[in-house]
Amino acid sequence: MIGKEGGSKSKIGALLGSMLLPLALAQFICSYSATSMNVAISSISQDLGTTVQGVQVAITFFTLTMAALMIPGSKLTEILGRKKCFTIGLGIYGVGAFIAALTPGIGILIFGYSLLEGLGTALLIPPVYILATVFYSGIARAKAFGVISAAAGIGAAAGPLIGGLITSAISWRAAFITSTLVVLLILYLSRKIVDPKKEGPKPRFDIAGAILSALAMFFVISGILLTSTYGWFSAKEDFFIGSILVIPQGGISPLWLFLGIGVLFLAIYVINIRRREKAGKEPLLPMRLIRNKTSNLGLITQCVQWAMLQGSSFVISVFVQTIRGLSAITTGLVLTPATIGILLTSSLAGRFERKERWQKRLIAGGFIITIVGILLLLLMVRETNSLLNFVPGLFLFGAGIGIMLTSSVNVVQSAFPEEDQSEISGLSRSISNLGSSLGTSIVGSVLLISIAHTFGLALAILIILGIIGLVAAFLLPRGRIKPAESQPVS
């Protein structure tokens, strides 16, 4: 382990160059894939003969697949080995991107992009954070998390611009080919990663827990997606499963049926955890990770951050392409101020985030700046005014996100000892991707009702989400976060 107690500056620099680069690039390309599709919505829907809603489903199910499988992926990391899981995930991701590039229709796009790329990401991201935790400590670990978290934020923010450039210059399919090439580069660079052998027996995989957690997330997100067609409270039209009429027009919205099923699976999942722990078996996720107040508050801030980041990218991309008729590259340029904001503040925040007393302030301050940015968008952006009206709001939005991304990760990871880093890393990434899914599905379902008339409402929802995150930030403890004691399964 390299940290403030061991190794020279030259060794730290060597590790940063040889090991941290492929880890950061892997996080970058996965975050990039979640937002680069937004600027190509019009091109993809026209080329594949689908609708904006169809592309929204593909984007949402990409992040949903990551959210549903990230915790199982984290457990597989400990079973298969960190580097092996990282490599397998990259391979699946690359194959998925290549299939998506050649897709003849929306179904194959969902298979390659949403399913395979999502599965690959769920396998490769937990090792990124676990390896950073294992190899670094103290200031070096904070620096490593800062680089990786910045790569995540920059990838998500720069995705529209990079994707817009490639789509306008060549094709949206070329954007997927580019992802495949980047994956090959990461595979080459990752040769220098050395996976330290873990002592003790390998954990057993909780298949039932993995299925139950995935089903719970699937039904919750699917229910929200259905609101764009059936409404939030009462069904706007008949809801069928196959040929069976389940809910007639005017009945309760299918959202609540799906939410109920999702909550039921979640309850069974918790019961499964308790049952396995009482039997002396290792569950997919120990109850001690769920009961940690500090970690839970940090996870709420992460979920909200990614919901706002992904949701805003989708809302603005759809608005300017559908209402303003902008091309993919122009859409990417419109979103560029947010990327600049993230780049500037994430580097500045890195100077303070290593001081644990600053983490709460950075998260709370980030939410305040982000909310102000969305308020400016709400007040300044109209259907016909100058595109320059987007700049102040988007810059402040990106600046706020950049300030708090790394601090939220540090709060969550620091709440647990090293032996729990695998599980908490998976939970942390799962919640972040769940936030991305919720952001796209919630604001997307509102926006697609009538894009011209609900743009402001979609932004207002983002503000409400920001307030929720701000409250969670204020509830975080001050000062140094002490890791909870790891308890053996009894």
- For the stretch 169-176, contacts whose Cβ atoms lie closer than 8 Å and that sit 24 or more positions apart, written own/partner, are 169/329, 171/43, 172/40, 172/43, 172/44, 172/47, 172/328, 173/100, 173/101, 173/102, 174/101, 175/36, 175/40, 176/97, 176/98, 176/100, 176/101, 176/112, 176/113
d(CA 398, CA 22): 24
Least confident of 4-18, 164-178, 341-355, 405-419: 4-18
Average pLDDT score over residue span 10-36: 73
Amino acid symbol at 120: G
Most confident of 174-188, 215-229, 410-424: 174-188
Section 250-267 average pLDDT: 90
Inter-residue contact 24 to 148 (CB < 8 Å): yes
Label residue 337 exposed, middle or buried (CB < 10 Å: 0-12, 13-18, 19+): buried
pLDDT greater than 70 at residue 143: yes
Stated pTM of the model: 0.76
Model confidence band, residue 181 (pLDDT cutoffs 50, 70, 90): very high
Q: Rounded CA gap, 260 and 266, in Å?
A: 10
Residue percentage of the chain with pLDDT more than 90:
21
Binning the chain into helix, strand and coil, the percentages to the nearest 5 are 80, 0, 20
| 252 has a pLDDT exceeding 80 | yes
In-domain check, residue 201? no
Residue 216: pLDDT above 80?
yes
Helices (H), 49-171: 52-80, 82-101, 106-109, 118-135, 138-169
Distance CA 157, CA 160 (A): 7
Name the helix (H) or strand (E) containing 185. Answer: helix 172-189
2 has a pLDDT exceeding 50: no
Structural domain total, the chain: 2
- Distance from C-alpha of 283 to C-alpha of 487, rounded to nearest angstrom: 13
- 187 & 152 share domain: yes
Clarify whether residues 175 and 269 are in a common domain. Answer: no
Residues 82 and 169 in one domain: yes
- Which of 61-65, 285-289, 425-429 is least confident? 425-429
44 or 17: which carries more pLDDT confidence? 44
Query: Based on the domain organization, do 326 and 423 belong to the same domain?
Result: yes
What are the angstrom distances between the C-alpha of 300 and each of 102, 257, 423, 448, 488?
38, 25, 17, 26, 26
Judgement on whether residues 393 and 326 belong to the same structural domain of the protein:
yes
Residue 86 forms part of a structural domain: yes
Cβ neighbours of residue 242 closer than 8 Å, sequence gap 6 or more: none
In a domain, 434, yes or no: yes
Question: Which of 200, 206, 197 is closest to 71 using CA atoms?
Answer: 206
Last residue in a domain, options 242, 268, 283: 283
Q: Is 490 part of any domain?
A: no
Question: Does 120 share its domain with 165?
Answer: yes
Question: Quick one: 156 and 289 in the same domain?
Answer: yes
**What is the mean predicted confidence (pLDDT) over 217-236?**
80
Confidence band of 198 (pLDDT split at 50, 70, 90)? low
- pLDDT, average across residues 283-293: 82
Residues of the domain holding 149: 9-194+284-475
In this prediction, residue 396 has a pLDDT band, given cuts at 50, 70 and 90, of very high
What's the pLDDT at 37?
79
Mean of pLDDT over the chain: 81
pLDDT confidence of residue 490: 37
Contact yes or no for 127/86 (Cβ under 8 A): yes
In a domain, 393, yes or no: yes
* Sequence-distant (≥ 6) Cβ neighbours of residue 244 within 8 angstroms: none
**pLDDT(11) > 60:** no
* Span 448-480, pLDDT tens digits: 665 556 788 889 999 999 999 999 999 988 755
CA 373 from chain centre, in angstroms, equals 21
Instruction: Please report the pLDDT score of residue 407 as a whole number.
Output: 82
**pLDDT tens digits along 68-93:** 787 788 778 878 888 888 999 999 99
Picking from 283, 313, 329, the residue at the C-terminal end of a domain is: 283
Neighbours of 280 (CB within 10 A): 9
Specify the pLDDT at position 267.
92
The pLDDT, as a whole number, for residue 416 is 79
339, 158 contact by CB (below 8 A): yes
Q: Does the structure show a pLDDT above 50 at 427?
A: yes
* Pairing, β 239-241 against β 244-247: antiparallel
Q: Is the pLDDT of residue 15 over 70?
A: no
397 & 260 share domain: no
Lowest-confidence region among 78-87, 188-197, 412-421, 476-485: 476-485
Residue 108 has pLDDT above 90, yes or no: yes
At 5 the pLDDT is 44
Separation of alpha carbons 391 and 430, rounded Å: 31
Placement of tokens 């709060």 in the chain: 411
Of the three residues 283, 316, 335, the one that is the final residue of a domain is 283
Residue 333 and residue 384 in one domain: yes
Task: Write the DSSP string, 300-339.
Answer: HHHHHHHHHHHHHHHHHHHHHHHTS---HHHHHHHTHHHH
User: Are 97 and 226 contained in the same domain?
Assistant: no
Same domain, 95 and 167: yes
Q: Does the structure show a pLDDT above 90 at 366?
A: yes
What local confidence, expressed as pLDDT, does residue 356 receive?
Answer: 56
More confident residue, 7 or 251: 251
Rounded average pLDDT over 122-139? 78
Q: Per-residue pLDDT for 234 more than 90?
A: no
Closest by Cα among 114, 93, 298 to 221: 114
Both tokens assigned to 217: 């997330």
CATH number at residue 341: 1.20.1250.20
Q: Identify which of 463, 409, 451 has the alpha carbon closest to the alpha carbon of residue 431.
A: 409
Same-domain pairing of 187 and 248: no
486, part of any domain = no
What is the predicted pLDDT for the residue at 58? 86
Tokens of 35: 């937002």
Task: Name the DSSP class of 131.
Answer: H
Query: How confident is the model at residue 452, as a pLDDT?
Result: 55
Residue type, 243: S
Most confidently modeled range among 12-16, 210-214, 247-251, 363-367: 363-367
